[in-house]
Amino acid sequence: MNEGASGERSDLKHLESSFLANGLRGIKASNCCLESWLNRTIKGRVMIFFVLYQSDATTDFPSDVDHKILETAYHRNRADQITGYLVRTPNKYYQYLEGPSAKLDALVQDIKSDPRHNDFELLQDGVLAQRRFSSWAMGYHLVSEKDLDEFYGWLHEGEGFGDVMIAYMEQMARRRKGN
């Protein structure tokens, strides 16, 4: 799944699988009427897309760099109606971003070429019925060295990693909100 964030988005099949992957399993749509079903579903609403990626951090840990990233994100994401969550471990970033297609694509292109990380790898992308992180211009969670084993034990690398990572981020966001 190393396609660019926007490459396949006009493809109805991709949209269908994204809808299904995002919990709308109760809505039946046979192939013959999928297009009109999608049109009804999204009619009159700005479609929200999401991207989940991982990358290798090139900066020290912990460092002021993350603070700078969040500062930029706070301003730009609010202006561009982007919301999301960033997880930082000693070596990696995991970031989930959601928002209107054009703004999201532009941001993802900028993030991809940012020297503060490399080896950008897309884990998931798709379309959403509603935002997952509507109250977060960019949430943030730092996983320290001592918590790494527990973190990766819980996430279990491999099949379904993206879904579990998103669930982890949602849980962290809920915890913070409750504070």
The contact set with ligand FMN (CB under 6 A) reads 69, 72-73, 76-77, 86, 93, 95, 107, 110-111, 114, 116-117, 138
Please tell me the distance from the alpha carbon of residue 152 to that of residue 80, in angstroms, as a whole number.
32
| Shortest spacing between CB 9 and ligand FMN, in angstroms | 20
| Shortest spacing between CB 22 and ligand FMN, in angstroms | 21
| Shortest spacing between CB 16 and ligand FMN, in angstroms | 28
Please tell me the distance from the alpha carbon of residue 26 to that of residue 119, in angstroms, as a whole number.
37
Question: Closest by alpha carbon to 50, among 89, 90, 14?
Answer: 14
Q: Toward ligand FMN, which CB reaches closer, 111 or 169?
A: 111
| Shortest spacing between CB 48 and ligand FMN, in angstroms | 15
Please tell me the distance from the alpha carbon of residue 51 to that of residue 97, in angstroms, as a whole number.
5
Q: Toward ligand FMN, which CB reaches closer, 116 or 176?
A: 116
| Shortest spacing between CB 65 and ligand FMN, in angstroms | 8
Q: Toward ligand FMN, which CB reaches closer, 15 or 89?
A: 89
Q: Is 127 helix (H, G, I), strand (E, B) or coil?
A: strand
For the chain, state the CA radius of gyration: 17
Sheet with 48-57, side-by-side order of all strands: 117-128, 48-57, 92-100, 83-88, 139-142
Q: Toward ligand FMN, which CB reaches closer, 14 or 76?
A: 76
Q: Toward ligand FMN, which CB reaches closer, 3 or 110?
A: 110
Residue with tokens 């579903």: 41
